[in-house]
Structure formats: C-alpha cells, structure tokens
Structure 1
Amino acid sequence: MSQENHMGYCWIILLVPAFFASSHAFCGAPPRLDFAQLDLQFDKDNFSIGENVTYSCRPGFIRDRTQTNVLICLSNSTWSTPATFCNRLSCGNPGDTAHGSVSFENTLFGSRANYTCDLGYNMLSKRNYRECQASGDWSNDIPQCEVQKCPTPNAIADGKYNPDLDEYEYLQAVSYQCNNKTLALIGEKTVFCTAYGNWSSDPPECKEVLCVPPYVENSEKVSGLSPPYILNSAVTFQCLQGFTMTGSPSVVCNVSSQWNPPLPTCNSSTVFPKTTKQQNNEENEGENNVGAIVGNLLITLTISIMALVMTNGL
C-alpha cells in the first residue's frame, strides 16, 4: 500500500466518528409547559446545539420578570431546565353574601369559591359557586340566599291565631287563643316557622273544661270561692273547728274537668268519754286474760312434775 493510500484510510477513520457525532448533535422539540406555550416561530422538531427558544404565558398566568423564559439546546442534546417564569393570576376576594358564607383554598386562576346559606335560608341562585377565570374575574354574580318561608298556619275550631299574615318567614311565631274563657287551649300556645319550612308543632285545640263546684263536708273555702271553675282554677279548704283534714287542702281543675288531687275530707277530732258498759267489758276482759294465764302456768307445772317423777322411777 502506498503512503498516499495509507494516509487516506487514516482520514476516513478519523472523520467517521466526527460524522456520526455531528449527525446526532441536535435537540428534539422543546418541552410542553403547563403555565406557558412555545412561541410559534419555534414550532419544529429539530434544533441545533446552542439554539434558543422562548415561551409566552398561557391564559390565566402572568409573567414573572425575575425568571427567564428562554430554554437552550445543550451540548448533550437536552434542553435546559425551565424556570417557573409564569404564575397564576389572582381574581381577588370573591365577595361575601348576606345570610351565608364563602369558602375557598385560594383566589388564583382555576380555583373555586363555594357558597353556603345560613340555617333558615335557601340558595336562590342557580350556581352556589364562583370560579376564577383567565381574565382575572370571578364567574357569574355572587350567589344569593333567601329566607325560608312557611305556609299559613292551620286554623282551629273555637279559636284564632295572631298575627294573621299573608306569609311567614323563618323564626316568625304565631300565638293561638280560644274564643271564650270556658274553653281551654290544649297543646302548644305558640308555634314558630322552622328552618325546614314547617311549623314547630301541631296546632292546639280548644276544649271545654268546667269542673263542678267542689264541696267538702265540715269545711269552708278560703280561696276560689266563686264559679265558674275552668282549667287551672284552684280552691283551698280548711276544716271547721273540731275537725281534722285528711288530704291536700288545695285542689286544681284539670284538663279532664276533674279536681286534682282528690278532694280532702274533714273528720271529727273530738274524743268522747267511755260508757260504764264499755268500762265493765274492758275490766271483765282483763280478768279473763289473767285467769287464762294462771291456768296455763299450772298446767305446765303439773306436766313438768309428772315427767320428773316418772324419770326417777325408771
């Protein structure tokens, strides 16, 4: 082999690695970033070593000028690590609503503010939330809450309620009363509109309650002297001189038109002297008792002596 041919082979051997190295010395497409998009002029698949590309912030993000938006194709055919040069923009406070509350993690783009109504209020708006948009504004108007309403209360026989309104709102109350004093109101006198749109209890009823005039023999009334005796009317008695009371001195007319507790009694407290016949009977009864005791002792003694004699005889 001539010296010229030998030199030619040497150059080929040296140039082949360089050729292959140069054929792989490029970067592929730049990475996709969540907060930024590649500028249009760099929309291609191959980039030379040292070539730069730039990005612009996506909608909803704002440029951070302290960080670079440039990526470089490095000598190892990779792109430089991107900095966070775009931040989510803020929509500010979403706003409060009357008779309700709002909750949110933050006020940045993509976040949601949720609204809830206080007890006794219902969501009036179709949406109970607002979302932070790319424009920096919150979506839709602030959700509104309206007070809970209750239907008209039930009417009752022989009675009425007050106030008589066209509509009733949460916590509003109505009071019932009967049309005359001989009727007693059985049940809750006052009911109120609840947070769930119903009344706190069933309506009461008016019932005639009338107790008969009470009488206790050998007594006199000291209170509650005159009828009519309607529900909760009270009467107090005291016994006449020489009589002692058994039971409660005061009674009350209950819902069943009965006196409660039961009427007391007044019993004579005078002790009468015993008659001669009663004294003689008691004396005779005492003598008989003494005779019986002595007789029993004699019988017992006799039996004991006989038992002793028989034992010694044996």
Structure 2
Amino acid sequence: MTLLGCLFVLIGVICCSAAPASEAKPSTGSCKAPPRFPDKELLGEWNTEYYDPGKRAQYNCRPGFIRLGSIQFVCSEGQWIPVGTSGQCKKKSCGHPGDIDFGTFELKKEEEFVFGAIVEYTCNDGYQMISKHRTRECTATGWSNHQPECEVRYCPPVQVDSNVNLLSTSYEEEYSVGQVIRFECKNAKQKLIGVSEIFCTSEGEWNEFPPTCEEISCRPPVINNGKVNNPRSRYNDQETLDFSCNSGYKPSTSPQLTCTKNDWRPMPLCEEIVCYPEFTKNGKVEYTKETYKEGETVALKCDEGYQIEHKPEELRICTAHGWSPSLKCISKYFTHF
C-alpha cells in the first residue's frame, strides 16, 4: 500500500472514533442533569449530559439552612424523583435579635427570626440613634451588626439679649426633649416681642425663636364696627384712648382702653344692639321676630284693669339699653301715697 493510501485509511479511522457526544443516543429511561434548588446544593461531579436509570443524586443544604433527614433523588423513567420520605432544608434560626434601651424594632422581612430575616430599630421620641447601622440581618453565621444604641436628644443652648431674663429649671447647658424655657423682660417698662415660652421638640430643636424686649407701646387698634376717637400713631405704657361704635352697635366693654405690655386692655369690641321678646306681666306684646335691631318698635297692650306705666301713647323702641319706655303694666287702681 502506498503512503498516500495509508494516510486516507488512518484519517477515516480517527473520524469514525471521534464522533460528537451529541450524536450519542441516550438509553431508554435515562435522565438529564439533576435539578438545582435555591436551598440545596448537589454533591459530587455531574459532567455528563445523560444519566442511567437508577442513578442517585444526593444533596446537602446551603449555608443558612439546616438539613432535616437525608435528601436523595433517583433517576427513574427519565425523571428525578425523591427517594422515600426525602428530607428537607429549613431556614436556620438566629434567635431573638435583642431589645434596646429607649427604642424598639420591627421585623421587616420573614415572619420569624430565621435566615434572611431583617429587623429595623427605631428610637423612641426624644432619643436619637448613635449607631451607624439601624438594621440587623439573620445570616448563616448569626445576626449581622451590633445592637444599635439610642441616646437622649438635646436642644442647643438658648442665646438671648441682655435685657431678657431666661427662666429655666435646668442648671446645665443642655436641654432635654420636652423641657420648657420661659422669658420675661428685665425692665418692667418693656414688653416681650415674640413668644413668652419655648420647648425642646423631639427633633432636638426649639419650637420657636427666643423673644426680644422693647419699650411698651401700642398702635391704635382696628375695631370692627367702631373707631378710635382722636387717634394717635403711637401710645406709651398706661396711656389711654376712647373709642365709639357705629350706629346699631354698642361697646361690650368699657369704651376707654389702656396700653399695657399685653396690648390694649380691655380688648375693644363693638357688638350689635339687639332686643329680645320679653314676658310682660299683666300685658301682652305682639312680637313678630325673634330679635329686634336698634330703632325697631313693638306695641304694648295691657290686660283689663291695667295700664301702661310710662308714656302709654308711644311705641316701645329697641335701644342700646333695652326696650324704652319699659314694658310694664300697672293697675289702674294703684294709688301713690
């Protein structure tokens, strides 16, 4: 045989013996690779495409899970089926994550303290977290991070003007949540401009800015349904003014006001003049309304044997002081001594 002929024979033998594995026919009832699970890991080497019937696959649990019983599958009629009462993988418990002082936690993931669970800690009102992490996660080796810590939250020192007195129950420079500071003016001739007290909020901030003090003065008040008589642009401490009400209204307080550190006292108020139906002994008034305004009138009629006491010829008129003349019936036989 020539050299060229031998070369062709050798190539043919090699090609026939190196047929692709994909062309190999699986045996009846064989299985492909065993299934994969998120909580289980397959043991051993599994590199071929098909496995003969009766082949067994054994599993162990992945980190974070504990194995309850043996976990095996067997190849049968082209499928992997559990062997007997197959075991299972259960999430590992981390136990209680731990309570903290001045705070609480909430389970954010899972329903128990098991692998994958996450708890988030929060501080009570008036406290702040000083730890870097506020969550803990149940891992394969236990709870991550350390239990966080909460400390009381403070408000910063309050700076006031030299003419303001600061009244506090604290003798330190730090003020805890809820603590109240009150203010007053050192000079009795001055008044506070702003709030008279502030408190430390749960955010560690004062709810208002501190006040200042300035000389007591008042501007003319705005009076609904009334006006200031002979107004000035400014009034000093203890100065007074008079006011009057529009027609149909009357002062509900003294018509003279005094300027004080708490503004005008009493506060000016004009109320509408109204009269109400009244019971008249030994007489009768035909009322047609529930209320009457200033200037409106009603007629009075006395019972038999009685007469109107004053000005019987006049109607009774509603005034700032009530019905005038009065709604009074007297006996016709009454004798003055």
What TM-score does the superposition give when structure 1 sets the normalisation length?
0.57
- Matched to 2:154, the amino acid is K
In the alignment, what sits opposite 1:267? none
**Which residue does the alignment assign to 2:105?**
102
Which of 121, 124, 145 does residue 118 from structure 1 map onto?
A: 124
Task: Check if 1:202 corresponds to 2:231.
Answer: no
Offset, 1:101: 2.2
- Give the aligned partner of residue 77 of structure 1: 78
Rg larger in structure: 1
Preserved CA contact (<8 Å) 2:93 2:115: yes
Whichever structure has more helix as a proportion of its residues is 1
**1:145 and 2:169 aligned:** no
The alpha-carbon deviation at position 196 of structure 1 amounts to: 2.9
1:215 is matched with which residue?
A: none
Tell me: CA distance 1:85–1:248, structure 2 relative to 1, closer, same or farther (3 Å): same
| Residue equivalent to 1:162 | 167
User: Residues 59 and 247 of structure 1: is their aligned pair in 2 closer, same or farther, counting only changes over 3 Å?
Assistant: closer
The residue aligned with 2:32 is 28
The question of whether the paired residues in 1 share the 8 Å contact of 2:99 and 2:105 is answered with yes
> Offset of 1:69 from its aligned partner?
0.6
What are the residue-to-residue correspondences of 1:240-279 with 2, within 5 Å? 248=254, 252-255=258-261, 260=266
Deviation sequence 1:9-45 (CA, Å, 0-9, x none): xxxxxxxxxxx998344222211121111122x5343
Which amino acid is the alignment partner of residue 93 of structure 1?
H
Q: Does residue 1:185 correspond to 2:192, yes or no?
A: yes
Q: Indicate if the aligned counterparts of 2:156 and 2:174 stay in contact, CA closer than 8 A.
A: yes
Deviations 1:196-224 (A, max 9, x none): 3321112122233389xxxxxxxxxxxxx
Cα offset, 1:191, TM superposition: 0.8
| Unpaired stretches in structure 1, ≥5 consecutive residues | 1-19, 212-228, 235-245, 263-314
| Counterpart residue identity of residue 130, structure 1 | R
Distance 2:132 2:267 in 1: 61
Change (3 A) 1:132 1:37: same
Amino acid at match of 1:88: K
For residues 174 and 156 of structure 1, the distance between their equivalents in structure 2, rounded to whole angstroms, comes to: 15
Distance of 1:81 and 1:55 partners within structure 2: 11
Match of 2:178 among 147, 171, 181: 171
Whole-angstrom CA distance in 2 between matches of 1:50 and 1:247: 106
Following TM superposition, by how much is the alpha carbon of 1:99 offset from its aligned partner in structure 2, in angstroms? 2.7
Mapped to 1, the partners of 2:253 and 2:38 lie a distance apart of 91
SS of the residue 1:90 aligns to: coil
Q: Is residue 254–residue 260 contact of structure 1 (8 Å, CA) maintained in 2?
A: no
Instruction: Indicate if the aligned counterparts of 1:158 and 1:179 stay in contact, CA closer than 8 A.
Output: yes
Conserved? CA contact 2:67–2:87, under 8 Å = no
Q: Tell me, yes or no, if the aligned pair for 2:126 and 2:153 is still in contact at 8 Å.
A: yes
| DSSP 3-state at the match of 2:35 | coil
Query: Quick check: which one's strand share is greater?
Result: 2
Distance 1:170 1:177 in 2: 22
- Asked if the contact 2:100/2:148 (under 8 Å) is kept, the reply is yes
User: TM-score, normalised on structure 2?
Assistant: 0.53
Which of 49, 56, 59 does residue 55 from structure 1 map onto? Answer: 59
Post-superposition shift, 1:109? 0.4
SS state at 1:206 partner: strand
Say which SS state the counterpart of residue 79 (structure 1) adopts: strand
* Separation in structure 2 between the aligned mates of residue 259 and residue 102 of structure 1, nearest angstrom: 54
Aligned residues of 1:62 and 1:89 also touching (Cα < 8 A): yes
Among candidates 70, 88, 91, match of residue 88 of structure 1? 91
Uncovered stretches (5+) of structure 2, i.e. residues with no partner? 1-23, 219-235, 241-251, 269-337
Does the residue aligned with 2:208 lie in a helix, a strand or coil? coil
Aligned to 1:195, what secondary structure does the other structure show? coil
Distance of 2:87 and 2:158 partners within structure 1: 64
- Give the number of equivalent residue pairs: 209
Counterpart-to-counterpart distance in 2, 1:189 and 1:247: 27
Q: CA deviation at 1:59?
A: 0.8
- How far is 1:140 from its partner? 0.9
The answer as to whether partners of 1:152 and 1:167 remain within 8 angstroms in 2 is yes
* AA of the residue aligned to 1:34: P
- CA distance in structure 2 between the partners assigned to 1:99 and 1:70 by the alignment: 50
